[in-house]
Amino acid sequence: MLWSCVFDIKLQRFIIVLADVASPFGEFLLQHAESFVDLLKTFTTRLVAVRTKLKIGQQIGRNGSVGIDLVAMCVNDILCNGAQPYSFSSYYACGKWQQQLADEVASGVYEGAQQADSSFISAHTAALPLLYEPQVYDLAGFALGIAERAGILPRVEDIQPRDVLIGLPSSGVHSNGFSLVHAVLKRVGLGLTDKAPFSERTLGEELLVPTKIYVKALAPLLNQPNHGIKALAHITGDGLTENIPRVLRKDLAVRLDANNFQLPPVFAWLAAAGNITPEELQRTYNCGLGLILVVNPAQVNTVMQHLRYAERASIVGEVIARKDAKKPQVQLQHFEESLTRSQRQLKSPRRRVAVLISGTGSNLLALVKATRDSAQAVHADIVLVISNKADVLGLERAKQAGIPSLVISHRDFGTREDYDAELTRHLEAARVDLICLAGFMRVLSVPFVRHWRGRLVNIHPSLLPKFPGLHVQRQALEAGETESGCTVHFVDEGVDTGAIIVQAEVPILKGDDVDTLTQRIHQAEYWAYPRALALLASGAVSLPPESKPVSKKN
């Protein structure tokens, strides 16, 4: 459990907000707090979940990221008080001093402080052989935050029915529920170096994915006047069902829709392998939502413009009146269906994807990151990159990602059909299931398109059917449009006429030119293309004979 404490120290503008994570270090934290402000007092508590996550790093000899978790558990709670993290200090205790290990752990703490835009003040260390085994260490952290008096959250009395819940995705298990994780591993006889049943990495690598730090995503919003955010709920221990009520009055409840956020496959696997009920899963884990915002309906569009693409935020529910005090304050709809879909997907082979490029490969990079982030649940792997041009940045990006790549120049072939036949030969040799065109500046032949029908998709920088073809941003500006965006669509024999899978809108702002609008659309593309690939790879979207995409709920 974490404590977040707000203190009025009689400053005219600011108050101090604190959060801490501690194991046996209460005295240290009290002394550290007093060094900041004489009137300041803090509370310390034991956080078992962080310690059980430490064990994973210690067991597999990978200790470089646990410091990020330490910082995250402090600063995310500070953020929920409407405060900006200001400084961070850590305490490292071990059974036997090992400089290399201490440096490795410290690197994670430094990285976490940077992610939190927080100054790292000091790292206190101690070797305690009477308390710890030689290879064992423990961590404590202390964070200080500053907030304007008028910006303190939560504003519990302001929360009303019909307020909107916006969810920010988690990066995985985060730092809670690891005792249950260890029990599940023991139950199924798997070790941390075994391949994870839900990704291409090991279980240890997946479970050590650091807790997401939300400071840089939300601090700019919280600094704006009239941002409309009434409360933030950090989903830690006790999961969804216990954390959200902490920002609600007893006369209110929330209704969440599990169809509106992604359940990471690690939770689907834990539930199946550990025979964990949906209710226990909800009260133990974040289930894919690391942070939930309670937002005034009038400001929802503004908040979503900031968070939708950059942070993959989604509207996940609403506040409702609680008419029966005996009923729970969190109503989670469609969770069992979502869990069943995720578990079914784990039993199917991952789809093999090829990406065709002609340039920088920025969308290729977005697809690579998404397919390698198990929390995004893109049930696919990029197995081949093909470019029709040599020496482009996209090829270097494929090399850095360890993805096989080919250069097949169209200039070496007499006809379009001959070139496309060579593409097909290599794609089939790689056993490719799906093809993503990502800035591939070639018009594909009819035989190629028909051969790969329903398995060939493209992304276009406009809201089709408006502005197909080239120079679309200029066309949108000249037409006086108020919004633009991007479209992921199936490829057919026409030019940008295929059935639409996903669209993402962006506003056209006063003073925009082609460059500024293009950059804004790029951010939408990096969200839309992975989203479309996830739908295709899961079978949720397919192309039937009538050429309209069909969404499968189950």
- Over its length of 554 residues, how does the chain's per-residue pLDDT go in tens digits? 333 333 333 333 334 444 544 444 444 444 544 443 333 323 222 233 357 788 899 999 999 999 999 999 999 999 999 988 888 989 899 999 999 999 999 999 999 999 999 999 888 899 999 999 988 999 888 888 888 878 889 999 999 999 999 999 999 999 989 999 999 999 999 999 999 999 999 999 999 999 999 999 999 999 998 999 999 999 998 999 999 999 999 999 999 999 999 999 999 999 999 999 999 999 999 999 999 999 999 999 999 999 999 999 999 999 999 999 999 999 999 999 999 999 999 999 999 999 999 999 999 999 999 999 999 999 999 999 999 999 999 999 999 999 999 999 999 999 999 999 999 999 999 999 999 999 999 999 999 999 999 999 999 999 999 999 999 999 999 999 999 999 999 999 999 999 999 999 999 999 999 999 999 999 999 999 999 999 999 999 999 876 566 655 43
Nearest to 3 by CA among 42, 41, 53, 31: 42
Residues 6+ apart with CB under 8 A from 417: 445, 447, 448
Task: Report H helices in 360-471.
Answer: 362-371, 393-400, 416-429, 446-451
Fold type of domain 1-152? 60s Ribosomal Protein L30; Chain: A; (3.30.1330)
Question: Which phi and psi angles does 511 have, rounded to 5°?
Answer: 90, 0
Query: What is the CA angle 40-43-49, rounded to 5?
Result: 145
The single-letter code of the amino acid at 348 is: S
Distances (CA, A) of 317 to 63, 165, 292, 297: 37, 5, 10, 12
153-347: CATH superfamily:
PurM-like C-terminal domain (3.90.650.10)
Helices 300-311 & 514-538 angle (0-180, nearest 10):
70
Domain boundaries, the chain: 1-152, 153-347, 349-551
Give pTM, 2 decimals. Answer: 0.90
Paired strand residues for 49? none
pLDDT at position 550: 61
Q: How far is CA 497 from the centre of its chain?
A: 32
The residue whose two tokens read 């700019």 is 220
Nearest to 239 by CA among 319, 193, 173, 298: 173
CATH of domain 349-551: 3.40.50.170
pLDDT at position 51: 72
Nearest to 105 by CA among 64, 70, 51: 64
Q: Residue 485 in contact with residue 462, Cβ under 8 Å?
A: yes
Distance, CA of 115 to CA of 214 (rounded, Å)? 9
Catalytic residue, from 174, 234, 379, 460: name it.
460
Sheet holding 330-333, edge to edge: 229-234, 289-295, 164-169, 314-321, 252-257, 330-333
Residue 460 is a catalytic residue? yes
Distance, CA of 55 to CA of 61 (rounded, Å)? 10
Conformation bin of residue 174: beta by default, left when phi > 0, alpha when psi is -120 to 50? left
Q: How far is CA 311 from the centre of its chain?
A: 7
Structure tokens at 532: 């479309």
How is residue 122 annotated by DSSP?
Answer: E
